[in-house]
Every structure is written in structure tokens, then in C-alpha cells.
Amino acid sequence: MSLTVDDVKKIAHLARLGIDTRDIESYTVDLSGMLDLMTQMSNLDTRDVAPMAHPMDQVQRLRTDAVTEADNREQFQAIAPQTEAGLYLVPKVIE
């Protein structure tokens, strides 16, 4: 599978990565190579292999439903760039 320059731009946009336009060409080659490796793996016969959701063969432990966390807003907001009326302030985002 071979990616186009536009594919790379789209992936970068989705991941909110600012990439240097001069590097796009080499990313295209490298990422295509990785996808080729995936394709190669896809060709393996895995009919008898159960899909793995986690490398450790264990199951999730569950927590009792109880409130255990106290209010630490002051501490958390001490490291926030900007706050007001208890809210975190961020640049306006409206689609």
C-alpha cells in the first residue's frame, strides 16, 4: 500500500501534528513502508489465533462504586495557564 502526500497531510491534521512540508515526501515513503509490513502480516494465516486485546493475559479488575476522591481543584488549577470562576480557560473552539 502506498500513501499519497495528501494522505500524510490528512493524518497529520487528525493527529494535530505540525509537520514541515519539506519532510512530507520522506514521511510518505516511511509510512508506506510500515503499511507494507502490515500488509505482509495480514497475509499470515491467523485462523486459529484468538485476537489479543492486551499483551498480558489477564482480565480487568473492577473497583467498588464509592467516592474516594476529594476536591483538589486549587492544586490542579495552580499549574493551569489560565482559570476563572473555577473554569479552565482555553482558546475558543467552535466548529
Partner 1 sequence: MTTSTSQWETVIGLEIHTQLATKSKIFSGASTAYGAEPNTQACAVDLGLPGVLPVLNKEAVRMAVIFGMAIEAQIAPYSVFARKNYFYPDLPKGYQISQFELPIVGNGHLDIEVDGATKRIGITRAHLEEDAGKSLHENFHGLTGIDLNRAGTPLLEIVSEPDMRSAKEAVAYMRKLHELVRYLGICDGNMQEGSFRCDANVSVRPKGQKEFGTRAEIKNINSFKFVEKAINHEVERQIELLESGGKVVQETRLYDSVKDETRSMRSKEEANDYRYFPDPDLLPVFIDEDFKTEIKAALPELPDAKKQRFKDSYGLDEESATILTSSRPLADYFEAVVKASASEAKLCANWITGELSAALNKAGLDITESPVSHERLAGLLARISDETISGKIAKQVFEELWQGSSTADDIIAAKGLKQITDTGAIEAIIDKIIADNPGQVEQYRSGKDKVFGFFVGQVMKEMQGKASPGEVNKMLKDKLK
Residue ranges that bind partner 1, judged by CB under 8 A? 14-16, 53-54, 56, 58-69, 71-73, 76-77, 82, 84-95
Given the complex with partner 1, which of 22 and 75 has the nearer CB atom? 75
As to burial, measured by CB atoms within 10 angstroms (0-12 exposed, 13-18 middle, 19+ buried), residue 4 is exposed
Residue 41, all three cell numbers? 502480516
Given the complex with partner 1, which of 22 and 58 has the nearer CB atom? 58
CB of 7 to partner 1, least distance (A): 11
Cα 82 to the center of its chain, rounded Å: 25
CB of 8 to partner 1, least distance (A): 15
| Angle in degrees, 0-180, between the axes of helices 24-42 and 5-14, rounded to the nearest 10 | 90
CB of 60 to partner 1, least distance (A): 4
